[in-house]
Chains A and B, each alone.
Chain A
C-alpha cells in the first residue's frame, strides 16, 4: 500500500495521460474503420491503463 501512496507524481500523471491518449487513439482509429489497432489500444486502455489510474489515484 505504501508503495502505491508513494507513487511519484510524474508516474501518476504519466499513467493518466497514457490512458487518455491510448483510449483517444483507439476510438480515433475505430472511427476511421480500424479493426486491428483500435481493439488493441482500447483493450490496453480499458483493462490495463484505466485500472492503473484508479490504483494510483491520489
Chain B
C-alpha cells in the first residue's frame, strides 16, 4: 500500500515518509527563524563569515570552502542586506534539518503506533523541539558559524543512513552508501564536523550488513565519492592567489597573481594542508587534557541546561535545572523507546548521540567554559561559551527527547478507556511539554532588532582619523570592522591590524598588499571634514616582504626595553605583555608607530585593555572616542585635552563630537539586553566613555551635558545588566612605569 504512494525512492515495506508534511514543518520553522532573524551582523565570527562569503574570501582555518561558496550564492539573493541574506542561509539550513528530523522521528515511530496522525504529531514535536533548543535557535538566526550548514549535512546523512538501515540489501542501498560517503566528504569541506556522523554510519553498516566491508568495489566507489566530495578544498588556493581582503592562512604560493607553477607548488601544498589541519591553533594532543574530563562534561551539562530554558538573567536556576533533568530523562527514555521499537536505525542513531556528546566532549578537549563555575579561579578558560560546538548534540538529543515524550503519550493513552482517537487526544496535552523551549528561549535566542555590532563597527572605525592604522586585539574589535569595510564600504581607508594575527606569517603580508582607498569625507564624521589629509603614498610598513617574514616569533627579553621613534621614547615592559615577551605582533605594532608617526595616525582600540600601558605609550596616548591615538610627542594638557587617569589624556572636543555620531548606545538601549556575556566589555567601554565624558563636563561646570551623559551611561548599564559595573566604576590609576633601575635594552625595530 505504501509502495503505491511512493513512486520514487521507497525502501522496504514501511509506510511512505510524509515528505509534504516535513516540508510544511520546515517552512514553519523557517518562518520562526525569519521572525527572530538578526537584521545585520553579530559579535564573534558572524562578521568574518559574512565577509568571507560576500567577497569569496578565506575565513580562519580550515577555511570552510563549501560554506564560502554557499554563502556567496546566498549573498546574491535579491532580499534584504548582504548580512540578512547570509543569515537566511543559516535559517534555511536549520529549518531543513528540522524537516529531516521530522522524517527520522516519523520513521522510528512506525512500529510504535499504527495510527499515522499520532506518528506525525510526535514527529512534529521532535522537529520543533530540536529547532527551538537555545543553541540551535540562536545559531540559526544569525550566521555566526558554519555549524548550521553542518547540521543540515548531518541531518541529510542521518536520513539516508536510516533509509539504508531499512533495507541494506535493496537495489538502492549501495547508492545510498556512496552518496553518504560523498556527503561526508563534502560536509568536511564545510567544517571537520562533517566527519562526526562517520563513526555512527560505520557502526550501522557493521551491525546491519558486515559483509559490506569486504565488497571492495563498493568501498572503492565510496572512497572515490568521498574524495570527490573533498575537492571543494581546491577553491582555497585558487581564491587565495587572487589575494582577497580576507585571505586567512594565505594558502597559495602565488605572490602577485595566479599561475600554474605557483599554484601547483610545494608552498601552496604546505600552506593548504596547514589550513586544512588547522595548524595555526596548535591544539594540544588529546592525552594532554586542558581541563579534567569531568569538568569538560560539566561544561556540556551547563550548555545542556541552557537548551530548554536559557535564562540568561539567572532568575530561574531551579526551573532551568528541573527542565534539564526532565529533558535528560526524556532523552534516555526516548533512546530506550528507539531501541525497543526500531533497532535497525538505533544502531545508527545511538552511536550518533554518543559521538556528539561524550566522544565530542573528549575530542574537543576544552578548557573550563567561559561561564562555567564562575567561583573557580586560577583555571584556564575558553574566551567565550562554546555551546555551539554541541549544536549536533542538542539537536539529536531533542529527537530522542521527543521520542520519550511520544512514549509517555502512548503510556498515558493506554491508561484511558474509550476509542483510540479519544484516548490519544485526551492524553495529547503531554506533548505541550515539547513547546517549553519555544516559550522559554524566545527572549534570549531571538536576534531580532540586534544591530549593536554593526553600530559598534561603524563607531570604532569612525573614531580613527582618515588613513589611520587601528590596532585591535581580538575577534570582537576586528571582525565587525572587516564586515563594515568590506561589505558595507564603511571607512575602507582605515587599516585594521589585529595583534593576534600579526604574529602569523601571512597576515602582515596581506596588510602590506592592501591598497590604500581614498577617504570619503562626505560619509565620514563631521570632525574630519576639514582635516585635509592627503592620501598617503608610503606603504604602512617600510619593510619588504622578506624583511617582514624575517621578524622572529618573539624576542626573549623579560626586562623593560626602550623603544624610540623620533621624539617618542617609550619603555616597553614585556612582563605586562600577553606572553611576557615581545612577540612578532608587538614588534610589528611598534614598527607601525615608527614608520607612520608623521605619515598616518596610529591608533590602538580601547578594547585592548592595558596594551597602551604595556607598550609604555601612555604619555603619548590621546583618547579620541573609542580609540587611543599615539601622538609623536608626549601629550600636554590643554583646554580640550585633559588628563584621564589610566588611559593617558582625553581629547574632549573630538570625543564629544564622535560620541554624538555613535549609533551603538541607542541600538543597545533599544534592544534592552546583552545576552552574550563574554562580549560585555564592548557596552562596558561605552559606559566607561560616557562616564568619563560626564566627569570632564562636570569639571567644566556643564551640568546639563554631564547629566545627559550620565543618563546614557545608566540606561546602557541597565540595558546590559551592568549596574554593578556602573556602581563599582572608579577611575583606574595609571600603572607605574618601570623605573626600578633594571637594565634596559633596545627592541630590535628596524630603522
CB of A5 within 8 A of CB of B55, answer no
Please report which residues of chain A, range 1-27, place their CB below 8 angstroms from some CB of chain B when the two chains form the complex. 1, 3-5, 27
- Kindly state whether residue B170 has any CB partner on chain A within 8 Å: yes
**A39-B72 contact in complex given A1-B11, A1-B170, A54-B225, C-beta closer than 8 Å:** yes
B622 to chain A, nearest CB (A): 40
CB of A50 within 8 A of CB of B175, answer no
Cα distance A52–B376 in the bound complex, in angstroms: 54
From the candidates B178, B228, B234, B258, name the one contacting A57 in the complex (CB within 8 A).
Answer: B178
Which secondary structure dominates chain A's binding surface? helix
Cα distance A35–B186 in the bound complex, in angstroms: 20
- Kindly state whether residue B73 has any CB partner on chain A within 8 Å: yes
B17 to chain A, nearest CB (A): 14
From the candidates B11, B66, B73, B238, name the one contacting A27 in the complex (CB within 8 A).
Answer: B238
The stretch that binds A, out of B2-10, B637-645, B711-719, is B2-10
Residues of A within 8 A of B68 (CB): 39
CB of B182 within 8 A of CB of A50, answer yes
CB of A43 within 8 A of CB of B70, answer yes
Which secondary structure dominates chain B's binding surface? helix
From the candidates A1, A27, A39, A50, name the one contacting B56 in the complex (CB within 8 A).
Answer: A39
- Kindly state whether residue B401 has any CB partner on chain A within 8 Å: no
CB of A1 within 8 A of CB of B72, answer no
Residues of A within 8 A of B10 (CB): 1
Cα distance A3–B171 in the bound complex, in angstroms: 11
Chain B residue at smallest Cβ distance from A35: B56
Cα distance A54–B225 in the bound complex, in angstroms: 9
From the candidates A27, A31, A43, name the one contacting B258 in the complex (CB within 8 A).
Answer: A31
Q: Which range holds the interface residue count of chain B?
A: 20 to 34
Residues of A within 8 A of B675 (CB): none
Cα distance A28–B72 in the bound complex, in angstroms: 17
**A51-B179 contact in complex given A36-B76, A43-B69, A43-B70, C-beta closer than 8 Å:** yes
Residues of A within 8 A of B234 (CB): 27
CB of B232 within 8 A of CB of A3, answer no
**A54-B175 contact in complex given A3-B8, A4-B8, C-beta closer than 8 Å:** yes
Chain B residue at smallest Cβ distance from A19: B228
Cα distance A35–B692 in the bound complex, in angstroms: 46
From the candidates A3, A4, A31, A51, name the one contacting B238 in the complex (CB within 8 A).
Answer: A31
Chain B residue at smallest Cβ distance from A55: B175
Residues of A within 8 A of B388 (CB): none
User: B245-272 interface mask toward A, CB cutoff 8 Å, 1 = contact, 0 = none?
Assistant: 0000000000000100000000000000
From the candidates A1, A39, A43, name the one contacting B9 in the complex (CB within 8 A).
Answer: A1
User: A42-58 interface mask toward B, CB cutoff 8 Å, 1 = contact, 0 = none?
Assistant: 11001100110011010
Residues of B within 8 A of A43 (CB): 69-70, 73
Cα distance A1–B164 in the bound complex, in angstroms: 13
Residues of A within 8 A of B172 (CB): 1, 4
Please report which residues of chain B, range 60-106, place their CB below 8 angstroms from some CB of chain A when the two chains form the complex. 66, 68-70, 72-73, 76
A54 to chain B, nearest CB (A): 5
CB of A50 within 8 A of CB of B232, answer no
B50 to chain A, nearest CB (A): 15
- Kindly state whether residue B235 has any CB partner on chain A within 8 Å: yes
A44 to chain B, nearest CB (A): 9
A15 to chain B, nearest CB (A): 13
CB of B179 within 8 A of CB of A35, answer no
Interface residues of A (CB under 8 A from B): 1, 3-5, 27, 30-31, 33, 35-36, 38-40, 42-43, 46-47, 50-51, 54-55, 57
10 closest A-B pairs (Cβ-Cβ)?
A39-B72, A35-B56, A39-B69, A54-B179, A43-B73, A1-B172, A30-B238, A1-B171, A39-B73, A42-B69
Q: List 25 A-B contacts (CB under 8 A).
A: A1-B9, A3-B8, A4-B172, A27-B238, A30-B239, A33-B242, A35-B55, A35-B56, A35-B72, A39-B56, A39-B69, A39-B72, A40-B73, A42-B69, A43-B70, A43-B73, A46-B186, A46-B232, A47-B186, A50-B182, A51-B179, A51-B182, A54-B178, A54-B225, A57-B175
